Amino acid sequence: MQSLFFNKVTNGVIQNIRSLNSKGFHVFVTNCANIKLRRLHITAPSTSPNTDGIHVSHSINVKIFKSVIGTGDDCVSIIQGVNNVTINRVNCGPGHGISIGSLGKYQNELEVREVRVLNSTFVGTDNGLRIKTWPDKYPGAASHITFSDITMKNVKRPIIIDQEYQCSPANCNKKVSLISSSKQTIL
């Protein structure tokens, strides 16, 4: 369930929206091209599950900027089939930070490419910047990921590359993820 759902939108601008206490994702962008999301104010309690601020899949040329996002889940989540995303001047917190993935859970997933997170601030989040992949499920790729000019305050895990997502000693044999991760830059 999501509050705002954008599917097959081209050359769209979503701006000056407040979303409060969504029952699921606040904003879901999928199968879109050339989308700008700016000056959004997204809020949910830190204890609310599955309340991603902005969730992006199967889209190209997405710009998210000048926004404030505080939820019980990812401020921004990016999954398969996403190419050329810029996240700039976003304030994140509370929440789980900005996540790429999870990847490798489903067969024939499309690559995530060209993701840039710039000039952003994380305050009181569980994670800062995260790439998460399933162990030993399906192949895929995440490449050309850049994190630059990031400020973090009271962030439990500032940078995470988790190749054993949803793994615990009781349910995982520590098999390697089949996701290829290349050309990540942290400046």
Helix ranges (DSSP H) in 59-168 = none
Q: How far apart are CA 173 and CA 77, in angstroms?
A: 27
Tell me the chain's radius of gyration from C-alpha atoms: 15
Q: Is 96 a catalytic residue?
A: yes
Cβ neighbours of residue 148 closer than 8 Å, sequence gap 6 or more:
116, 117, 118, 119, 185, 186, 187
Rounded-to-integer distance, Cα 135 and Cα 74, Å: 21
| Whole-number Å distance between alpha carbons of 29 and 58 | 8
Q: Chain-centre distance of CA 8, in angstroms?
A: 19
Looking at 41, 55, 96, 144, which residue is catalytic?
96
Q: How many residues does the chain have?
A: 187
**171, 135 contact by CB (below 8 A):** no
Which residues are catalytic, by number? 96
